[in-house]
Amino acid sequence: MAEIAAADVMKLRNRTGLSMMECKKALVEVGGNADAAEDLLRKKMKGKMDARTDRAAGEGRIAVAIHRPDAGGATPHASIVEVRAETDFTAKNDQFIAMVAKVADAVAELPAGEVAAPAQVTAMIDEVRIKTGENCSYARGRKIAGSASSVFGAYVHHDGKTGVLLHAEGDISADLLKDIGMHVVANPIIPKGVNAADIPADIVEKERKFRIDQAMESGKPKEIAEKIVEGGMRKFFEDVALLEQPFVKDPARKVKDVVGPKARVLGFWRWAVGESN
């Protein structure tokens, strides 16, 4: 049996994050070759982790990556991702946070739209799964392609559990978009669209039906009931359309006033850890 120095065991532990005992056993098994021992541990531990993927990953982190134009002329593009972990302890770990940021960067370089976990992302997450012993998993990701006039901005809450990515064009700064993202997170009413026309039809129809039923139950004449419903729907659109909401940092102005006439918000994505896709 090869003699294994404590220093070699410690180096392998630092490389893998696994226990001294596991590292020593691996080194003994491969005759002291550190690279072979690391490969052996990754194979063994990944197998153990794959057998535990039924454990609920209820914590996690949202991350955003914004890639602005470079010397090669690439147009702005961005991504938002959610990666989950079993415990808040792991979700707040520096290694986990760094890994989620790398995942967002990787997703930002893929085709636009909803992104399933590519091989390089799975490998990044497996690194953390092996070291933490937790079931860490890629929950979802989206890439947004921009144009030459696109401006992206983002806000991720300090705990990493809620994040917003915004896409705009025109005369608007990333800093202002960050403030609007903060508004989206902080506002008690979560916006359902940029403006009234963007609100999904099923949400509008459900709200309209609710108000019609209320008006009919009140026994009001049809003409009055219709006016009540239309007035209520106008208020509803003001409540749930982002641009119509009072800006949280200056409630005297609406978000559209902060954006101004020289810019246009094209879309936003507000994600929270653990919510349904």
Q: Phi/psi of residue 107, each to 5°?
A: -65, -35
User: Looking at the structure, do residues 71 and 135 belong to the same domain, yes or no?
Assistant: yes
User: Looking at the structure, do residues 37 and 125 belong to the same domain, yes or no?
Assistant: no
Q: Which tokens in the block code for residue 58?
A: 């209820």
User: Looking at the structure, do residues 87 and 159 belong to the same domain, yes or no?
Assistant: yes
Rounded Cα distance between 151 and 265, Å, is: 9
Burial of 118 (0-12, 13-18, 19+ CB in 10 A): middle
User: Looking at the structure, do residues 139 and 211 belong to the same domain, yes or no?
Assistant: no
- Is the Cα torsion angle 248, 167, 276, 47 positive or negative in sign? negative
Q: What is the CATH number of the domain that holds 126?
A: 3.30.479.20
- Given this model, what pLDDT does residue 42 score? 77
Query: Residue 29 is part of which domain span?
Result: 6-50
Rounded Cα distance between 179 and 33, Å, is: 52
Amino acid 1 reads M
Burial of 104 (0-12, 13-18, 19+ CB in 10 A): buried
Q: How many CA atoms lie within 13 A of 225 on its CB side?
A: 15
- Given this model, what pLDDT does residue 223 score? 77
1 in a structural domain: no
User: Looking at the structure, do residues 78 and 128 belong to the same domain, yes or no?
Assistant: yes
Partners of 153 in beta bridges: 166
Contact 90, 132 (CB under 8 A): yes
User: Looking at the structure, do residues 151 and 247 belong to the same domain, yes or no?
Assistant: yes
Rounded Cα distance between 80 and 184, Å, is: 15
66 in a structural domain: yes
User: Looking at the structure, do residues 150 and 174 belong to the same domain, yes or no?
Assistant: yes
User: Looking at the structure, do residues 204 and 182 belong to the same domain, yes or no?
Assistant: no
- Given this model, what pLDDT does residue 216 score? 76
- Given this model, what pLDDT does residue 178 score? 98
Q: What is the CATH number of the domain that holds 223?
A: 1.10.286
User: Looking at the structure, do residues 31 and 157 belong to the same domain, yes or no?
Assistant: no
User: Looking at the structure, do residues 11 and 75 belong to the same domain, yes or no?
Assistant: no
277 in a structural domain: no
Number of domains the chain contains: 3
**Among residues 274, 260, 9, 13, which one has the least CA distance to residue 162?**
274
User: Looking at the structure, do residues 160 and 133 belong to the same domain, yes or no?
Assistant: yes
Q: For the whole model, what pTM was predicted?
A: 0.78
Chain CA centroid to CA 14, Å? 30
Chain CA centroid to CA 93, Å? 17
Q: How many CA atoms lie within 13 A of 227 on its CB side?
A: 5
- Given this model, what pLDDT does residue 10 score? 81
Q: Phi/psi of residue 74, each to 5°?
A: -65, 140
68 in a structural domain: yes
Partners of 247 in beta bridges: 250
> What is the full per-residue pLDDT of the chain (277 aa) written as tens digits?
568 888 888 888 877 767 788 889 999 999 989 888 888 887 777 666 555 555 555 799 999 999 987 655 678 999 999 999 989 999 999 999 999 999 999 999 999 999 998 899 999 998 888 888 888 899 999 999 999 999 999 999 999 999 999 999 999 999 999 999 999 999 988 999 999 999 999 999 888 888 888 777 777 777 787 788 888 888 889 899 999 999 999 999 999 999 999 999 999 999 999 886 5
Q: What is the CATH number of the domain that holds 16?
A: 1.10.8.10
Rounded Cα distance between 40 and 77, Å, is: 39
User: Looking at the structure, do residues 245 and 234 belong to the same domain, yes or no?
Assistant: no
